[in-house]
Amino acid sequence: MVSNQWPIRDREWAARYQRSMAGRNVPAAALEERERELLGAVREADVPAARLLGDPDELASEDAAELATVDEAVRRSVGGGLQPALHEAGNVLMGVGLVTSLVLVVRSGWAVDIDLALAAVGASVLVVFLGWVVVRALFASGRTAAAVGAGLGAVALAGADLAYAGDLGAGEVAVRGVPVPLLVLALLTPGVTALVVAHRMSGRELGAEWDDATWLRRFRGGLRGRLVPATTARGHVAEIEQALSVGGMSAYSEFGHPLVLAHELAAADATARTRLWAVSTVAAVGAPLTIAALVLVNQGWGRLTVPVAVVFLLAGVSAAVVGWGRRPWGTR
């Protein structure tokens, strides 16, 4: 580990540099090589890293712009394999578990009766959130048909849970007097487990074995998953099919990984960039605002209802400001 080789005086600088490089889609091998270069320069100059190399955050931004790759972005994306999808699911489970735990603590004290109808409603909400993660992962990986199937399955399962809750009605208690600390532990354990497992999983390399039909299908799905217009996507697919018909090489040998190429083409398409920005911004703003509205309507937080709603409202406003600053037009 390069981090253990830094002089003691520079370890805080190195830690800031490493934190700034996290999540910037720089391959691990390239990052380690760059750190070795920086460490060698510091040792040769025999001066503190801050004096020789400047601000670690600024240097990290410059290095990331040069070292980041589309391959790494695809590998780390939610459609890049089981690890990122499991990490996303873990975040969802933790979020739902934390909110539910806070509601239990505020409303129920030290013990609570588990109402079957409320449990079924909660399960339907969890199914929707986890279904959304699965649909996103499949859609981003170019598996459009599977994504549609998973979405329909999640909607059907959530609907069945709601119908079951409606048939039961309020007051059907499954277990009485369950200790709230024990229930909180049960609610948080799945999310913690998923995040730990995802963290310990080794990063999977992008696949290199593709027949042309599968490659083209995943390429088309990858373009649509990045919201490239259908006409433009068909044009790209037709161009590649024509090139393959006269080239005599496989699609992977000629063009590389289908999702990497799809990401590159989508990044160069103004319409796709605008659509992705719009969808991500609406989701980032709409989620906290919806939660704020539900908190106010349900009045489930007692005296904390208004403060909690204000927190989610401010989160939505903040997301709107950040999203506007990242708009793909009018910025330099």
DSSP 200-214: HSPPPPPP----HHH
At residue 37 the predicted structure's pLDDT band, cuts being 50, 70 and 90, is very high
Is residue 63, in this structure, part of any structural domain at all? Answer: yes
Higher pLDDT, 208 or 332: 208
- Helix (H) / strand (E) containing 74: helix 70-76
Q: What is the pLDDT of residue 105?
A: 82
Is residue 301, in this structure, part of any structural domain at all? Answer: no
* Count of domains forming the chain: 3
Over 80: is that where the pLDDT of 171 sits?
no
Is residue 42, in this structure, part of any structural domain at all? Answer: yes
Q: What is the pLDDT of residue 1?
A: 52
At residue 249 the predicted structure's pLDDT band, cuts being 50, 70 and 90, is confident
At residue 188 the predicted structure's pLDDT band, cuts being 50, 70 and 90, is very high
173-193: average pLDDT: 88
49 and 121 in a common domain: no
Q: What is the pLDDT of residue 3?
A: 65
> What is the SS3 assignment for 40?
helix
162 and 108 in a common domain: yes
243 and 166 in a common domain: no
Over 60: is that where the pLDDT of 100 sits?
yes
> What is the SS3 assignment for 141?
coil
151 and 59 in a common domain: no
Is residue 252, in this structure, part of any structural domain at all? Answer: yes
| Single-letter amino acid code for the residue at 40 | G
Over 50: is that where the pLDDT of 332 sits?
no
Say if CB 123 and CB 161 are below 8 A apart. yes
User: 112 - beta bridge partners?
Assistant: 178
Say if CB 44 and CB 84 are below 8 A apart. no
Is residue 298, in this structure, part of any structural domain at all? Answer: no
Say if CB 119 and CB 174 are below 8 A apart. yes
Q: What is the pLDDT of residue 24?
A: 86
Over 80: is that where the pLDDT of 206 sits?
no
The domain of 129 spans: 75-206
Is residue 286, in this structure, part of any structural domain at all? Answer: no
Q: What is the pLDDT of residue 199?
A: 85
Q: Which two tokens stand for residue 47?
A: 């001066």
User: What percent of the chain has a predicted confidence (pLDDT) above 90?
Assistant: 28
Is residue 313, in this structure, part of any structural domain at all? Answer: no
Q: What is the pLDDT of residues 22-31, one digit of tens each?
A: 888 898 889 9
Length of the chain as a residue count: 332
Is residue 183, in this structure, part of any structural domain at all? Answer: yes
Mean pLDDT, the chain, integer: 86
Q: What is the pLDDT of residue 305?
A: 80
Higher pLDDT, 166 or 155: 155
Q: What is the pLDDT of residue 10?
A: 87
94-102: average pLDDT: 87
Q: What is the pLDDT of residue 143?
A: 83
298-320: average pLDDT: 83
- What is each CA distance from 66 to 61, 249, 315, in whole angstroms? 9, 31, 32
Out of 153, 174, 206, a domain closes at: 206
253-275: average pLDDT: 90
249 and 157 in a common domain: no
Q: What is the pLDDT of residues 210-225, one digit of tens each?
A: 788 888 988 998 898 8
